[in-house]
Amino acid sequence: MNRLAAETSPYLRQHAENPVDWYPWGDEAFAVARADDRPVLLSVGYSSCHWCHVMAHESFEDPAVAEVMNRLFVNVKVDREERPDVDAIYMQAVQAMTGSGGWPMTVFLSPDGRPFFGGTYFPKEDRHGLPGFPRLLAAVDDAWRNRRGELVEQAGQLANLLQRSTEIAGAGAAPGQPLSAALLDQALESARGQFDAAYGGFGRAPKFPQAMTIDFLLRAYVRTQAPDALEMAQVSLDAMAAGGMYDQLGGGFHRYSVDTYWLVPHFEKMLYDQALLTSAYLHAHLVTGEPRYRRVVEETVAYVLRDLRHAQGGFFSAEDADSEGVEGKFYLWALDEIERVCGDEAHEVIRYFGVTADGNFEDPHTGYRGTILHVVDRLEDRPDAVERALPALFATRAQRVRPGLDDKVLLAWNALFLRVLGEAAAALERDDWMEAARANARFLLRELRRDDGRLLRSWQDGRARHLAYAEDYAALLEALVTLAEVDDVAWLVEARAVADNLVRLFHDDDGGGMFTTGTDAEALIVRPKDYQDNATPSENSLAANGLLRLAELTGEGGYEAVAAEIVRLLAPVVGEHPTSFAYLLGAVERLVTTPLEVAIVGEPDDSSTIAMRREILGRLVPASVTVTAPPDTGEELTPLLADRGDGDGTATAYVCERFACQLPVTTPEALREQLDTALAARRTQ
């Protein structure tokens, strides 16, 4: 038993029985490295990572390989999801050394933490141009003992490169240079150039869902009425929902597609993908009214609430790609199995989902074959026969061995899902979802916040660990602002507290933007910053959006100033690289568009209030904020509710721009007209 058994990370605990003498990241490991004059072997991965499992089985579980590791190195295991700061620093080093990155990540460090060599997956034996892991260990040890000077020089150069990577300040727009909608137009044109018109998505295989880019396209359509913006979004959404990347039986999305057709996924399911894709499909439904997008929203939310929810309200991180040692086995079907389960409906199920005797997927390690269910004609409505067969298929699958569950609760990922859960609950009028959102918010503020108010990153089995990062604070800010808009304006109290601590702990007063780690965090070899939107929005994109929304609700200019600074830093590159800054484009849009502020005053359960809320929350209105409150309440929280009475017992709506309001209206039709007029006016700006 090594030192990982007591960790909160399921990934670390998976390695607790390895013969490797693992340390968690911390001072103890580096003290031993200094005392013994040995390099640190840093291994970074996460619990649902397929190739992490392969390397663990091949090398870390092998006593002979472990003996070499223990003799020559101090071995440190890190869960990238719990320690994104450590992961980001050394991933950037690996990318600088090799030109690529990924997980598992294998990095060799000097005892002071500086990297000098690294890579990703290494097989046990020489294979596919990669050195076998034991041979690599011997070579690194030889270099450490006999060519130390070269390694130390390399480590110094890499450390300097990593430091420079945080200094993007100065690349931004000049202080007096105005931001304009031309940035959004440039981003739309760049997205056109990357779009796959045949199969949807952006770029080549492997294809990632790019939910944030699709969200941008939907907003661009509302803003400009450019038909191809909507077409790019719909082709992508339809192709993904029809493919094997979407779980046709249980709802929810796998991580990405290994092919260009969205057929064969990497089978892991991540909470953050459910959050971002639910947002994209929800907004597509609000823009188009298409029921097929609503169904994806409903099925994906149902998956999370059914399979990823802790009894106390938190959401688990991920489900593995493998079960019973086979990639995707839980999701694969044999033709005779479909025939047996579906009976008279089997023919239609087989046709609709493209089931064949030979299957369409084979696990390369075990040779296990089966069919990934997918919709052959991506625009075909689900036939009644298939609808009738789905419960039996789902029940049969439920008897299988499930993929491994990563049951840690991460603050940022929970907040990403909390935001869309609250928005979807309001838009689709699902009170059960709203209660789940409230329960999650209460859980996060109770279990992942210390008595002194400091937020924490990760929770598992009643224990919270690791100081929260800027990503966690900014994502929670976005979620709380959303709850203030769609549930209760009183959530603004918590939102402001989170925003104030975000700025206090993470803002770079000299260079601008947000650091990943707080002023109270341990010192690493650099203090990283994350600017690009990748699988999740960056801390700076989240902060810019959240602070702008809070400024629009509260009238506090200080929040807007910090957000505008972030956008200006990145303005020169945002338009050229929309998929790398897709979430930040929302903040750009808010800064270059006069915001719409809608206040609805009326008793919450009154039919007139509900009708008014349906009018604003049932459509996509970019660069807007909304609050609802009973008469004569909430003035202390937002000026939008100052001096607001009701219209003789009927709900009243106020449509404002920078707190200058049009005449109040008391019917949904009049509110719709004012919103339509305001959106039309934006198109002429």
Q: Which of 402, 437, 465 is the last residue of a domain?
A: 402
- Indicate whether 155 and 244 sit together in one domain: no
- CA dist 427 and 486 (Å) reads 9
- CA dist 308 and 303 (Å) reads 7
Q: Which two tokens stand for residue 8?
A: 């909160």
- CA dist 323 and 267 (Å) reads 10
- Indicate whether 299 and 196 sit together in one domain: yes
The kind and range of the H/E element at 474 are: helix 470-486
Confirm whether 353 is domain-assigned.
yes
Q: Which two tokens stand for residue 302?
A: 């149902």
Strand, coil or helix: what is 222? helix
Confirm whether 5 is domain-assigned.
no
Q: Which two tokens stand for residue 654?
A: 């106020």
Which residues constitute the domain of residue 216?
182-321+407-592
Residues 6+ apart with CB under 8 A from 312: 443, 447
- Indicate whether 398 and 386 sit together in one domain: yes
Confirm whether 299 is domain-assigned.
yes
- Per-residue confidence (pLDDT) for residue 170, from 0 to 100: 43
- Per-residue confidence (pLDDT) for residue 169, from 0 to 100: 41
**How many structural domains is the chain composed of?**
4
How far is Cα of residue 297 from the mean position of the Cα atoms in its chain? 16
Q: Which of 165, 195, 213 is the last residue of a domain?
A: 165
- Indicate whether 444 and 303 sit together in one domain: yes
- Indicate whether 436 and 502 sit together in one domain: yes
The one-letter code for the residue type at 678 is A
Confirm whether 65 is domain-assigned.
yes
- CA dist 12 and 78 (Å) reads 7
- Indicate whether 427 and 478 sit together in one domain: yes
Question: Is there a contact between 15 and 2 (Cβ–Cβ < 8 Å)?
Answer: yes
- Per-residue confidence (pLDDT) for residue 177, from 0 to 100: 54
Name the DSSP letter for residue 127: B
Confirm whether 297 is domain-assigned.
yes
Give the CATH number, domain containing residue 58.
3.40.30.10
Q: Which of 380, 402, 424 is the last residue of a domain?
A: 402
- Indicate whether 458 and 549 sit together in one domain: yes
- Indicate whether 305 and 240 sit together in one domain: yes
Confirm whether 120 is domain-assigned.
yes
The torsion angles phi and psi of 286, rounded to 5 degrees, stand at: -65, -35
Name the DSSP letter for residue 114: -
Give the CATH number, domain containing residue 272.
1.50.10.10
Question: Is there a contact between 659 and 596 (Cβ–Cβ < 8 Å)?
Answer: no
The 3 state secondary structure assigned to 255-317 is CEECCCCCCCEECCEEHHHHHHHHHHHHHHHHHHCCHHHHHHHHHHHHHHHHHCECCCCCECC
Confirm whether 72 is domain-assigned.
yes
User: Can you list the positions of beta strands (E) in 190-346?
Assistant: 256-257, 265-266, 269-270, 318-319, 322-323, 326-327, 332-333
Q: Which two tokens stand for residue 188?
A: 């739309």
- Indicate whether 379 and 486 sit together in one domain: no
Cα 383 to Cα 124, 349, 557: the distances in Å are 49, 9, 54
- Indicate whether 151 and 276 sit together in one domain: no
Confirm whether 469 is domain-assigned.
yes
- Per-residue confidence (pLDDT) for residue 644, from 0 to 100: 81
- Indicate whether 152 and 26 sit together in one domain: yes
Question: Is there a contact between 251 and 381 (Cβ–Cβ < 8 Å)?
Answer: no
Question: Is there a contact between 477 and 497 (Cβ–Cβ < 8 Å)?
Answer: no
Give which of 83, 108, 84, 78 is closest to 94, Cα–Cα: 108
Burial class (CB in 10 A: 0-12, 13-18, 19+), 102: middle
User: Can you list the positions of beta strands (E) in 66-143?
Assistant: 74-79, 105-109, 115-119
* DSSP string computed for 608-664: HHHHHHHHHHTS--SSEEEEEE-TT--TTT-GGGTT---BTTB-EEEEEETTEE---
Cα 625 to Cα 226, 333, 482, 545, 684: the distances in Å are 24, 46, 9, 12, 21
Question: Is there a contact between 622 and 629 (Cβ–Cβ < 8 Å)?
Answer: no
- CA dist 536 and 276 (Å) reads 8
- Indicate whether 298 and 366 sit together in one domain: no
Residues of the chain with pLDDT under 50: 169-170, 174-176
Global pTM? 0.95
